[in-house]
Structure 1
């Protein structure tokens, strides 16, 4: 196919230097079979070229790995997204062997996000809980069991009435052992759920942006109403999530 653009002024193209960039491909004029300019006022581009795929670059520091250390060298870190982080954090606070929890934002494309910005749905962040745990008292598999029991992993970008990409289901691992255990647990859960497809993503833990202080241990502190809920180890009280 030949396209004619007769309304253009005469153009001069430096040899071997002109590229047309579109989406993920670059096309070089040197790849067209001559003649590709047949008159002073017409450019004839033949549909005979090979696309050159652009190399993907990732220089966004928001995508860097989470390199922070746990509060004690004997501890490990884990990170989970399972809907609104208030209730998820309280559930992990109650697990024996969990020494510290903190809520924040991760897996997004924007540096230093805040709650208001994340809620716009434009940053691609997930509301996550980062857990500092003692693996001798709390195997990682215990955390995975709680993760799967705490939310519905089959709903895309949604948990109950909370809708948005920040509420997606995710396990974000810090080492290959965690990655393997996470995948194995996902496969076991899928067998349990049969035809209901799990949409949980399993990805390396990226930079963690700690959420505003009022979000930390929100339900234990009572939230907006001041009615605190127990974070005692082993507590089985129903978790009530409120604003």
Structure 2
């Protein structure tokens, strides 16, 4: 690919992805007038792309709302976040780094490495929720995409025996914070392609040393095989998450048989 073609292809793909974000925001009524959004940046390709696309969305939407970007420093050894500051210098949004030594807690609570991922997720979520609540944010935006949502559905179905996924929009139990996933209609392959065209520098993988969850890795391999052998199947599953017929399942709490 010629270097002179990259900007044009990047801009074309950005417009396509921004349209998908706009569709998700409107369909699930994610954002309204006067809201304050905290965009959660992890340093990976997904969250970096989400920030870019939300900036594009705000430029063209009618609603007026505020956004700020927050990065949670887990205290993982060897992590250098300088690239995030370089990246955010070119983004017209407030940027803040909050610190919580999650790594130390993981070492104390999970010395054998077992259940590290689950505990890390809970600690990370708690820190982000607390920061959003104490700083007046009404919404917390995460960089999960369509593949993440399908993976979570299959994980819960295969290993948990329940049909439970990752919703595009979720109001917390206290009702004071709304969690949104603006890239619900975006496929991971498009994010990979966009990151390559945009030349984003991303955080190294596996800083904690725990590796990818074995069950999630298995689901990822299944989805990758489906995408090659049965194009469109993953999208069909995602589509099915939004078209549920309770009378044709078996949950008595959803349908009075």
- Per the normalisation by structure 1, the TM-score is 0.28
- Per the normalisation by structure 2, the TM-score is 0.27
Greater C-alpha radius of gyration: 1
